[in-house]
Structure 1
Amino acid sequence: MQNSLFQFVRQSLGWLLLVVFSILLLSSTGAQLHSRLLLMGDWLYGDYYMLRADLPAPSCQREFDIEKRLDELESAASADAGLDALFDDDASFDREASRRSLEKAQQLCQDKYDLYEESSSQITTSVKMFRSIEQAVEFFSLIVFDYQKFLIVLVLFLGAICATLSQHHISFRPIKTRFEHYCVQSLETLALLGLYIPSLTFFAQSKNAITSPLSVIFAWTVVGAASVLTFISLVRLLKPSDTLQSDNRSWFAKSISMLLCIPIYIYMLLIAGFYFLVIEKHVTGISIYAGQLFEQAEMFLQIGLYIWLGMLLKRSRLGQQLFNVIRPWGFSPEIVAFIAVVMMAVPTAYTGASGIIIIAMGAIVYTELCHSGARRSLALAATAMTGSAGVVLRPCLIIVVIAALNKDVVTQDLYSSGLRVFGLSMALLLLILLMTSKDKFTLKPWSQVKSPFVKALQDLILPVMIFIIMTIAYDFILDAQLDEISAPIILPVIMLLILYFERRKGRSAPECEGSEIITAEPLPKLIHAATMEAALHIGALLMLMTFSFALGGVIERTEVVALLPSVFDSVWVCMAMLVVILVLIGMVMDPFGAVVLVSGSLASLAYTNGIAPLHFWMVTLVAFELGYLTPPVALNHLLTRQVIGEKEAVLAEQEAMQASGWWYKHERILLPMTVKAITLLLTAFVPLFVKTL
């Protein structure tokens, strides 16, 4: 009964989130459409800006007897002449000056009437219909823009509720025993209660300063969402699942296992709560710092759209079609792994944040690598690397955030340098894969490759044509290029069209291990299923990002960075110190929260010690990539484990333990870390060496 109720709530929230996503797509498209409508109106009707509203009728009198008015003015002046004479010897009435003034006023009034009559004559039925459409589009776009903060709260907490109901928050391993359930749910309830109290206190303290109705709605939504999350966690605590096992291990073993089951965001929330509530006694501290996410509402709404895009992509045949192009050549597993990482770098860049592409394509990438004969450890390593390989490429959202927060760098320079760093990283990956390969590099003869290869290319014609046509259409009709600004709006529309035409042709998404894709779903049901799954990942990822800001606040207020010297004796020592700190930050924080923290603390330290801003931020991005892949957290590995399933992850661990050689036993961790560590060292220190020459 409880699970049925939770499932019904999740489905309802999925529909609500789908409505929110639809509003976001329509409003963003509407904003672009509105600017084009203004240009079209100007082209159709001339000075359309004058026709957008009915001019008020002039209230002045355009025809009057000037001589009569002059006589009236002169009579009034004569009545006041006695008093004026006390102060001004030349207080006589100037009839000619008054005449010129009246004639000028009459002409101005006539001009107003002429403009009014001309404008009224041009406002035809056609103009009224056109401007009604244009103003309706403008009104809708502005309303959504005004409610952006409210929408990000809605998206965040709809996702958080779904993730909490399904126990889908990111952790090192899932809950399996009743002991783990009671301990983890107790900590989660305590942590969420520690979120609810600061939210309520913050609202109570600031309600007198709230004047906007939107601010009131926003504040109550945050408080309401925090209370709902606390209530759900409490219900989960009191009503455990019947599938949980008993645990007869020692108390120490059970405790260690339990610690691995605690969601990472709970660790962040407990640390922030302890610091702000106990040490500083700053009750609203968590709300203030976590609320920084809402100040960047548009960016995090884009992340939600990107995750939704990923879930739609997961339900298409596109991933399988791309691998079908590679499969006929008979590459060794290592080469297939290299191609997969390079190939996934592009969607990683477009999905804006590390890890989203793992959620979307991880199951397919892992399965295809296993089918090519790859070791499970190699498949896991490559799948984890796909989640961050493209964060330095255009049009990745992280680089946009860096440029927005730091005026010393621009996106163009960051993207150009990022492309070179990406090339270096991929060259190192290929070299290490070839060095550790157990198979020789081979290619099948063209006669065997030709037929399946050509067929695979033919299957790609449909999605490629849809992509090209829609990109051109957006550019021509709405003047919207596929860049970092428009990509989160254009790409979901393209993906929906691809899914529509796939279903029209009777195609369906592949069934793959670790995936819950239903192959014969009608399009509306498929979109709803994608939205429900997106809600889980949005809740898990955005909760992690939200409390990364709170954890960043703890680091900032403890002034840990201030313990470092402001000036180092050597730029080499400074860079070495920064590399270590940046990797540590990347290990425990999401990229967006980490960028905010680094911008306000370490960036100025680097500049002061002679490290160029562009160089520093390239090092930062590569250090974050290494952090995502480095234990104990290793977010990309956690996401990979989540998408392939716990059963397959256990099989991979068992297979690795049976492998010969230390490298192959730990290849899942060592391969990504080695590639990124060497890339980081070269990126950090080679420019310094060149500078000293």
Structure 2
Amino acid sequence: MEKPTFTVARRSAGEWLSSLPTLFILLIVIFLSSGQIIHSQLLKIGEATWDEYFLLRGAGMVAEPTCNPDPDINQRVREVVEQRQAQADDPLADILGGSEVDEDAIRQSLEASRANCRAKWMRYETVQEKVTPGVIAFRNIEGGVASVVSTLGDYKRLLLCLLVVICAATATLARHHIALRPSRTRKDHYVSTIAQLTANAMLLMSAAVYRAEDAQAMASGVTVGNFYLHAFWMAGFALLTAASLFQLIRPPKDLEAGGSWPKAFLTIPLYTFMCLTASAQFISQGYYHGISVYLNMMMELSTLFLNLALYIWIGMLLKQTKLAHLVFDVLRPWKMSPELMCFVVLAVAAIPTAYTGASGIFVIAAGATIYQELIRVGARKQLALAATAMSGSMGVVLRPCLLVVIIAALNKSVTTAELFASGYKIFFLSLFLFFIYSQFARTSPARIAPFSEALPRSLKRMVPLMPYGIIVGAILVLFSDLLGRHLDEFSAPIILPVMLLAVLLFEKLSRHLLHLFSLFLAVMLVLSFMGIWEGYQALTSGNVPAGISAAQLEDVLWAEFWRDLVLGAFLVIHYLVKTGDQDPHYAPEKGVSEKMEGALRLATNETTGHIGALLMLMALSVSTGGIIERSGLLEMLPETFASVWVAMAILVVTMVIIGMIMDPYGAVILVNATIAQVAFDNGIAPLHFWMITLVAFELGYLTPPVALNHLLTRQVVGDDEVESARLTTGSFFRRYEKFILPIAVMLTALLMVSFLPLISDGLHEWLFQKIQAG
């Protein structure tokens, strides 16, 4: 990308117009989610401080009751009786309930009304008597938080729309959209840009037609929700069209001469291919606004896609830290052979992959480091590229992967707990298969340093990780003990950015801040141990609090005890064990700043481009799913098959094909709407089916023609480095090992997960165990 010539306050126009708004939107999303947590805690504080706070918080907002608390019951009874008797001559009296008057029933009804009125007056008077200036002040704070959170919550669709538009325009101008090969020559540029210009113009036309259709529907009396969003989509697609036109008129100056026309078509971004094919199909059906209709489906899951944007930011913040280098420092003393090191890297990388949404973000964040470290230990380039690509997909079945959360949100047949419980077993199966295949493919003997030599050095190099353990532990305790929110698949998008910002403050601003985290953690651990002791006393005395069983209380106490013990060990080791400099291999990378402001700015700049590239790809994947759905191809599948084996074979092939050509997030929506019920009708358990889907998508990440993780690996490793890994001699496997090894591992895992449980009921029950709620 060319260096910007126009700057304001040492920041380019792009940073002011794209990165800064993106940062604001991301912070608003974090505040929106954390604000709900804070508000619930404020309610708990209010109830613990003032009796009947839920009643008192209405002071000044609840009007004085207008009913009479002391009516003359006898007079009211006579009035009602006279009124009923006056209606006795009505010819419809019998139809409406008869002409007989029950004075006792009338009296009881009037007495009940009086009791209800007196209760209203009593509540009103109680509020007036107990309310204090402190209650009013606290109520204003709590109510203000609730009002802001509620207001922002109503505009999540707008936040996602703005995020997509701003980031997509940035990705367009930066030539950052995902394609099968980068644009280098003038032919590449013109083919790619003209295709994008056409696609963006079609998006604009679709949005305009969709707005006209909704306006016509509103004129005929039909209620249309969120009509205002049409204007933002139209403005956004107009901006994308203008950006493509600008790129066409003013091509970059660093383009090479020449090029090949066939290869130039490979530089067209994947979202553009999807948009052009979907538009052509919809237009041929007279469904001119089809893309916008399916794009609107993405808005229905706005919370989840906003969380995905946060995960991308998390990945870019992780890239600015030294954590990846420090973890490799721990592994180096073992002097493992390349294949064994790849196995360990995949096992370790699966965790941050799951915590960054398993959307390839971890490859962008740490792929360059992983590749270089594998090359350092002697891995051949094809093997290093294969492991780097796989590092961004192995965690797709682990907690708290966002893809699993979307599956559970779309249907009620499975829960996240069930999916993650089965996912751990399938993850270890995949990891074991990689170990087996990699050992058969090795070119040198397997090796590992002697245990007595490697373990002391490895433990010594774990000491520099203790400050990170303290910071992460302090944030976890802050959220769990003070805000009542543990780290899980629902809270991870909120807690993880706070953790990484705290780590960056420690690394880039001042290492003395660690003492503040340590002090806070020490105080909270003392309070926690006191709470554990009180809980133990209640357990031994039999005075278990209501709402929890003795067994549940015991499990909670043990979990908190081990948590506190580990965090306490971090404090002790950091302050008592001195080892000197244990990070001799770290050197600043390109795109990584040593200053806090620079790190945050670079992370957000990268986040903006990646959000635009990935969300546009996902948005158009939904439209591609719409083509498949409307084409009737999936309806050609019979509702029932001759046997469950035939059904499984056809479904597995279908899922692999979908995983190869579509982004998994868009594919999940399509599969849930079309294929899932076919599987259920043929006797395939929902949990079994969705685990097959996840493994198939994991295979799709790594399989051409798209192979998203390989494309992302090429981005971070460099096109020249990837080209240098090409081999012209050797066996077919050696020449294409970066593709064949991951495909062999995941295809074997997919076949085993799909068919072996059909043979053994015991294996099926163990792999796909239903978890009873509550």
Shift of 1:489: 0.6
Question: Is 1:151 equivalent to 2:159 in the alignment?
Answer: yes
Question: Is 1:536 equivalent to 2:537 in the alignment?
Answer: no
Matched ranges for 1:39-54 at <5 A:
39-54=44-59
Any idea what the Cα deviations from partners look like across 1:572-618, whole Å, max 9, x if unmatched?
A: 22222222111110011111111111112222222222222222222
Does the C-alpha gap of structure 1 residues 125 and 213 become closer, same or farther in structure 2, counting only changes over 3 Å? farther
Alpha-carbon separation, structure 2, partners of 1:208 and 1:269? 26
Verify the 8 A CA contact 1:552 1:593 in the aligned structure 2: yes
Question: Is 1:657 equivalent to 2:724 in the alignment?
Answer: no
Aligned to 2:563: none
Of the three residues 594, 604, 612, the one matched with 1:520 is 594
Alpha-carbon separation, structure 1, partners of 2:624 and 2:87? 75
Moved more, 434-443 or 584-593: 434-443
Letter in 2 for 1:242: K
Aligned to 1:469: 474
Letter in 2 for 1:243: D
Gaps of 5+ in 1: none
Matched ranges for 1:473-552 at <5 A:
473-503=478-508, 504-505=510-511, 516-521=590-595, 523-552=596-625
Verify the 8 A CA contact 1:156 1:538 in the aligned structure 2: yes
Letter in 2 for 1:57: E
Of the three residues 249, 257, 264, the one matched with 2:263 is 257
Does the C-alpha gap of structure 1 residues 239 and 610 become closer, same or farther in structure 2, counting only changes over 3 Å? same
Shift of 1:60: 5.0
Aligned to 2:564: none
Shift of 1:570: 3.0
Matched ranges for 1:41-440 at <5 A:
41-54=46-59, 55-60=62-67, 112-207=120-215, 215-247=226-258, 254-277=260-283, 279-440=284-445
Of the three residues 36, 42, 50, the one matched with 2:41 is 36
Does the C-alpha gap of structure 1 residues 376 and 477 become closer, same or farther in structure 2, counting only changes over 3 Å? same
Aligned to 2:528: none
Look up the SS of the partner of 1:4 in the other structure. Answer: coil
Matched ranges for 1:669-684 at <5 A:
669-684=739-754
Verify the 8 A CA contact 1:290 1:547 in the aligned structure 2: yes
Alpha-carbon separation, structure 2, partners of 1:528 and 1:494? 17
Verify the 8 A CA contact 1:363 1:512 in the aligned structure 2: no
Moved more, 52-61 or 376-385: 52-61
Letter in 2 for 1:337: C
Q: Percent identity?
A: 39
Gaps of 5+ in 2: 92-98, 513-580, 764-774
Aligned to 1:559: 632
Alpha-carbon separation, structure 2, partners of 1:97 and 1:686? 69
Does the C-alpha gap of structure 1 residues 510 and 202 become closer, same or farther in structure 2, counting only changes over 3 Å? farther
Letter in 1 for 2:5: S
Alpha-carbon separation, structure 2, partners of 1:371 and 1:84? 99
Alpha-carbon separation, structure 2, partners of 1:357 and 1:389? 11
Aligned to 1:4: 5
Moved more, 502-511 or 364-373: 502-511
Letter in 2 for 1:287: S
Any idea what the Cα deviations from partners look like across 1:327-352, whole Å, max 9, x if unmatched?
A: 11111111111111111111111222
Letter in 2 for 1:58: P
Does the C-alpha gap of structure 1 residues 462 and 104 become closer, same or farther in structure 2, counting only changes over 3 Å? closer
Shift of 1:85: 10
Alpha-carbon separation, structure 1, partners of 2:343 and 2:759? 30
Give TM-score scaled by structure 1 length: 0.90
Question: Is 1:687 equivalent to 2:757 in the alignment?
Answer: yes
Does the C-alpha gap of structure 1 residues 238 and 445 become closer, same or farther in structure 2, counting only changes over 3 Å? same
Does the C-alpha gap of structure 1 residues 500 and 97 become closer, same or farther in structure 2, counting only changes over 3 Å? closer
Any idea what the Cα deviations from partners look like across 1:320-379, whole Å, max 9, x if unmatched?
A: 111111011111111111111111111111222331211111111111111121111111
Moved more, 498-507 or 328-337: 498-507
Shift of 1:677: 1.1
Verify the 8 A CA contact 1:364 1:512 in the aligned structure 2: no
Verify the 8 A CA contact 1:185 1:237 in the aligned structure 2: yes
Verify the 8 A CA contact 1:336 1:369 in the aligned structure 2: yes
Shift of 1:662: 2.9
Verify the 8 A CA contact 1:510 1:517 in the aligned structure 2: no
Shift of 1:435: 1.5
Verify the 8 A CA contact 1:406 1:599 in the aligned structure 2: yes
Moved more, 374-383 or 604-613: 604-613
Look up the SS of the partner of 1:241 in the other structure. Answer: coil
Shift of 1:95: 13
Shift of 1:469: 2.2
Verify the 8 A CA contact 2:593 2:599 in the aligned structure 1: no
Verify the 8 A CA contact 2:325 2:586 in the aligned structure 1: no
Look up the SS of the partner of 1:657 in the other structure. Answer: coil
Any idea what the Cα deviations from partners look like across 1:263-306, whole Å, max 9, x if unmatched?
A: 001000000010011x1011111111122111100000000000
Shift of 1:118: 2.1
Verify the 8 A CA contact 1:317 1:509 in the aligned structure 2: no
Look up the SS of the partner of 1:557 in the other structure. Answer: helix
